[in-house]
């Protein structure tokens, strides 16, 4: 896919406008197709991406909600030769989609956003907030934690307000504040055990203490929206920071005399680097640089999507700020800064393998296994292995998404005669 190409529609068999009426959106958000057949399902013949690499003519068995090693008696066998089978995508940095914002939406709206990304292959999603008043963030964290308890999202990521005004991007400068550990703790507590990550400018007063607090509570401290030096970033990593929030974006550029945070984050094996692979946020050479220095085990592709993802051009809100989306690129109306993205992870995969020419197994690791490990969920999701949730994707030979299964139920039913027949019988 060329750098300026866009895919605004859902995958084949799942098309629909993100601007539909609220009732229809809610119905889509809470409905999945039943698992075809009551005796298990065997998907056979596809090129299958496993932790050990790509297997031609692979075989994945689904029994109930899980992947199993052995097919149940009388399991339905479906030939998917000519396709790819991949694990479901895991997005650790996502602000919304389908016209819905995770920062300000109701439960119904948030589910609409979550479902929009499921239609594009994201079966595990961490909901990200943007800078706002602390009480507003705490209230929203409480709502998001309820959805995490229901299994709809994998947790909460607070991006702001503890970020640098020098690198604020699409965050309201008036609402920014230094990372006071007591206030960081307030957000953690509001999420009731579901806070997964906090992005901080760790060079600000209280930054290092806040990193230590997050590490003590098992919450990922992410370096981002930062004006830190190389040395300050090294100090943050030594204190417990383990993620680079959208590496290269909203931080000083890499310099030969002042390497800044990018060099420190790339060189340290303890750090996972987020990349937004949409053709706008990163030049292909920057992506290759990150993969070369961090290696394929330390890269996580993210969307950083805002509520226009899965929708069309127009005016939107990102937190309290107005955003204009033109040709699929979101920018602040005031100032013109890039304001998140309209990316979905199926597009990130397709670009990675067709434009960036990454090995398929490396791209899939960045979309599934690496973020799953980071979240501590790799025992359940992130790869096609027996015992894990039956979260899997079916793509055609050109890496166009055709089917999405989550926990053994089809979210997007592939347009295959055998599956259509099985669904009718279910």
Q: Name the token pair of 140.
A: 């929203």
Structure-token pair, residue 194: 């579901």
Whether 223 and 211 have beta carbons less than 8 Å apart is answered as no
Buried residues in 75-86 as b, exposed as e (16+ CB within 10 A): bbebebeebbbb
Distance CA 287, CA 282 (A): 7
- 281, 246 contact by CB (below 8 A): yes
Neighbouring residues of 33: CB distance < 8 A, sequence distance ≥ 6: 409, 410, 411, 413, 423
Strand 76-79 and strand 41-44: the pairing is parallel
Alpha carbon separation from 378 to 87, 204, 322, 371, 381 (Å, rounded): 11, 33, 37, 8, 5
Task: For tokens 């690198």, name the residue.
Answer: 167
Per the CB < 8 A criterion, the answer to whether 100 and 112 are in contact is yes
Distances (CA, A) of 232 to 114, 160, 208, 224: 36, 19, 9, 13
Kindly name the residue from 304, 307, 346, 356 that is annotated as catalytic: 304
C-alpha distances in Å from residue 307, one per residue of 146, 304, 310:
20, 10, 8
- To the query of whether residue 8 is one of the catalytic residues in this protein, the response is no
Q: Which candidate, 175, 196, 208, 408, places its Cα nearest to that of 302?
A: 196
Active site amino acids: 304
């Amino acid at each position: 896919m060329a750098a300026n190409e866009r895919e605004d529609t859902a995958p084949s068999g799942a098309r629909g406008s993100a601007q539909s009426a609220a009732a229809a959106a809610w119905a889509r958000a809470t409905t999945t197709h039943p698992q075809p057949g009551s005796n298990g399902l065997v998907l056979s013949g596809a090129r299958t991406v496993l932790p050990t690499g790509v297997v031609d003519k692979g075989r994945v068995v689904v029994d109930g909600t899980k992947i199993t090693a052995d097919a149940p008696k009388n399991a339905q066998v479906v030939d998917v030769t000519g396709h790819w089978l991949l694990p479901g995508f895991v997005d650790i940095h996502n602000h919304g989609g389908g016209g819905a914002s995770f920062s300000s939406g109701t439960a119904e709206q948030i589910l609409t956003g979550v479902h929009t990304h499921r239609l594009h292959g994201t079966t595990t999603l961490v909901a990200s907030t943007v800078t706002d008043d602390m009480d507003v963030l705490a209230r929203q964290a409480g709502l998001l934690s309820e959805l995490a308890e229901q299994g709809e999202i994998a947790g909460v990521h607070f991006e702001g307000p503890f970020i640098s005004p020098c690198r604020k991007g699409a965050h309201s400068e008036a609402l920014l504040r230094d990372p006071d550990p007591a206030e960081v703790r307030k957000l953690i507590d509001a999420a009731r055990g579901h806070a997964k990550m906090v992005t901080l400018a760790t060079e600000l007063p209280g930054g290092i203490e806040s990193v230590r607090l997050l590490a003590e509570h098992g919450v990922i401290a992410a370096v981002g929206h930062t004006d830190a030096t190389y040395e300050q970033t090294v100090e943050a990593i030594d204190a417990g920071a383990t993620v680079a929030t959208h590496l290269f974006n909203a931080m000083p550029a890499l310099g030969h005399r002042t390497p800044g945070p990018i060099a420190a984050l790339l060189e340290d094996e303890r750090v996972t680097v987020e990349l937004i692979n949409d053709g706008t946020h990163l030049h292909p050479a920057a992506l290759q640089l990150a993969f070369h220095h961090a290696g394929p085990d330390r890269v996580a592709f993210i969307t950083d999507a805002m509520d226009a993802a899965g929708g069309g051009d127009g005016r939107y809100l990102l937190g309290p700020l107005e955003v204009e989306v033109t040709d699929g690129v979101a920018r602040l109306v005031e100032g013109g800064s890039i304001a998140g993205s309209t990316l979905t992870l199926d597009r990130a995969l397709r670009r990675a393998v067709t434009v960036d020419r990454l090995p398929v197994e490396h791209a899939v690791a960045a979309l599934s296994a690496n973020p799953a490990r980071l979240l501590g969920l790799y025992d359940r999701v992130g790869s096609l292995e027996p015992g894990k949730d039956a979260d899997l994707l079916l793509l055609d030979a050109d890496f166009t998404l055709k089917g999405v299964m989550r926990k053994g139920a089809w979210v997007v039913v592939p347009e295959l005669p055998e599956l259509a027949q099985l669904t009718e019988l279910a």
